[in-house]
Each structure stands twice: as C-alpha cells, then as structure tokens.
Amino acid sequence: MRVQEDAIAVRDALATARVGLVDREVVAEVVTLCAVAGEHLLVIGAPGTAKSLAVRRIAEQLGGRYFEYMLGRFTEPNEIFGPVDLRRLREGVVEIRTAGMLPEAEIAFLDEVFLGSTAILNTLLGLLNERIFRRGATVSAAPLRVCVGAANHVPQDPSLAAFADRFLARVFVEPVADARLEELLEEGDTFSTPGLVSPVSPHALSGIDRLSEAAQSCRLASVRPVLATAVRRMRAAGVPITDRRAVRSQRLVAAAAVLDGRLAAEPGDLWTLPLIASTPDAQAAARDVLADLIGAAGSGSLCHAAEEYSHGSAARARRLAENGRDLLARFGSGPTDGDRRLRLEAVLREIDAGFAATDLGAELAAVRDRLVAAVQS
C-alpha cells in the first residue's frame, strides 16, 4: 500500500535527521506531523536550545525549498518576502520579487516570530491561513507545507496571541536532560554543521504530499466520539480549546494515522491532542486527563512524539525499539568501543528500567537481545 511505503520513507528520513540530534527528536517529528497535516508549529524555548538545528535537520531530509530567518523589531518586510521589483515600480506597479524568499518556500523557520512588525505579521497571516501571498500587486499561491515559528516564550499581548493561534501545534523545548549531557557534548559539536548528513531520499517531500492527500481522506468517523470526549475532558480540566482548534485537531489525528501507515484513525492517534494546548502546564494537564484514551498510543514514524504526548508504555516500547535499531544500524556489527558501548548500554538501561522482563513484548525483546549481544561482543 502506498501510504505504508510513504510512511516508511518518512520514518527513514526522520531516523537520518535524528543522527546527532540530542533530545530534539520530538521537534523534528512534530514538524513532519504538521507538514502532513498542513498545519503550522510554534516551538517555544530558551535561546540556545537547538530549535533551529532540529528544524533545519528535518528540512534537509524532507528536501524542497527551505527558508529560515530571524526576525527583529527592525526587520523590513522585504527581508522576508522579497524586495520590490524596481523595474515594475517605474511602471507604477508595486510588485515583489519573491524568488528564494518566504513566499516560495516549502518549509520555513521563522525565529523570534513575534518580534515581526505589524506589516510582516499581517502578510504572514494570509500566508499561513490561506497559503496565498498578497503584497501590493503581487498575489501568488504559496507552496508552503509547514511554517515553524520559534520564540522564547508565549506572547501575552492579546493581538499577538491571535497571531499565535494560527500555529495549531506547540512544542515546548527544555535544555537537554542531564542524563543525555555526555551524548550532547559528544555529538552536538560534530553534527551541528548543516548538510553533514545527506538526505536518504531526494523525493521525501513528494512522499509528504502524498501522505497529506491521504490524510484528507483518512477515515475519522470511528474516533470522533472519542475525540469529542477528549476535548470535553480537556476543557473541563481548564485547557482552553477554541472551536476552531478542536476542529483542526482532526488534521493532526489524521496525519498521525497516515504516518503510521493507516487510512483510518484509531483512538491511539489522539496522542496528538496535547499538542494543541497552549502552555506546558496545559499540555501536561491534557496528557493526564487523556491518559486512559491515549495510553495505548504508538507511532512507527513519530515514536518520540507519541511517547512524549501520551506517556504510554506502548509508545515508549516503540521508541526504545526504534532507538535500539538506529544505534545497531549506525554502529554495525563491529566491536563496540568505549563510547559505542556506553550508548548501547544507555538504551539497554532505559529498556530494563522501563519494562519488567515479562512486559517487553516481542519487538522490544528482540531488539534488547541484539543490543545485549552487541555490548557483549
């Protein structure tokens, strides 16, 4: 089935994007989820937390035209959208030369997005909502699959909050966990250079497009009652969910299903719902009240994100199995030196600390056996 092949291709692209990406796997996966859902993502986190690196890494793997810019209070619209065409201006027409700029980008990353001027944010609204670029006499369809906005914190200004609402999904980034600092120190420097890891497929973006089409026809009828229950629970727990966000959350659910190789959504795909909550506390509350609905969640392609937003053991098992396979593939069958052995042991430790031997399941048990053989070789 084509959707399964495309989902596997995306999984491979994500696996390559994750190489050297320490504790930012969730960002890369949610960018992919949003690209398939046709929604936009806001990444909130302190400066220096590798937000842009994570987006750049997955953009490299997905291919297509990528645009990245850091906005400031004095950023001019032409720095983002392109300069005015002077030749046409002499003819009395304000037209924008958009080549290589945001209106022609397929994946975009706008750092400090809320620092943009009113003129920039207004133009961005049209681009994000309708995927149409309008400025002066220039009106053009934008090929934008996903725009990732980044900021240090969620804006409190009501006018900016309305703009922020256009980003359906939110990921909150914390500094790398203490347990992974050695990995960060080892890999952070090596893999921070753009283009270091070649894309596994030059056509990954066309796979994303096909999955996006499939998501639009994904069967959601069987999960709608569960989705309604979930939204009611989130609202009752004090998580504000506007009607618009509730409706659009279905796109994330459908995208999660097709990225797992299915054309029909299941209740487990509702692990995406905490993403639409607007603060870390609200996301945690959403996870808690949805625990029994999304506890069995899991995703072959988005294993880190599914675990992060479901906290379920099934998602954790799939993520650990994926991590183990990644490392085994990367290190090959050769002898394991000190650093490699420590990396393999870290996964084994997480498996043993996370699952009783009787609860491993066949897939994770097999990966564990291979890891044990590798560290003991």
Owner of token pair 């842009």: 52
Q: How far is the CB of 344 from other proteins (least distance, A)?
A: 8
Q: Contact positions toward other proteins, by CB under 8 A?
A: 178-179, 182, 291, 295, 311-313, 345-346, 348-349, 352-356, 359, 372, 375
Q: Closest by alpha carbon to 37, among 229, 219, 168?
A: 168
| C-beta closer to other proteins: residue 71 or 348 | 348
Q: How far is the CB of 256 from other proteins (least distance, A)?
A: 21
Residues with Cβ < 8 Å from 71, sequence gap 6 or more? 80, 110, 111, 112, 113, 115, 116, 120
Q: Closest by alpha carbon to 325, among 358, 300, 305, 353?
A: 300
| C-beta closer to other proteins: residue 81 or 355 | 355
| C-beta closer to other proteins: residue 153 or 349 | 349
Q: How far is the CB of 358 from other proteins (least distance, A)?
A: 9
Q: How far is the CB of 324 from other proteins (least distance, A)?
A: 13
Q: How far is the CB of 342 from other proteins (least distance, A)?
A: 9
Q: Closest by alpha carbon to 32, among 196, 275, 242, 234?
A: 275
| C-beta closer to other proteins: residue 9 or 320 | 320
**Burial class, 313, CB count within 10 angstroms (exposed 0-12 / middle 13-18 / buried 19+):** middle
| C-beta closer to other proteins: residue 178 or 243 | 178
What is the C-alpha to C-alpha distance for residues 335 and 337, in angstroms, rounded to an integer? 6
- Are 173 and 27 in contact by the 8 Å Cβ rule? The answer is yes
**Residue ranges of E strands in the chain:** 41-45, 66-70, 107-111, 132-135, 138-141, 146-151, 169-173
| C-beta closer to other proteins: residue 155 or 295 | 295
Q: How far is CA 306 from the centre of its chain?
A: 11
| C-beta closer to other proteins: residue 99 or 356 | 356
Q: How far is the CB of 153 from other proteins (least distance, A)?
A: 27
What is the C-alpha to C-alpha distance for residues 180 and 5, in angstroms, rounded to an integer? 32
Q: How far is the CB of 320 from other proteins (least distance, A)?
A: 11
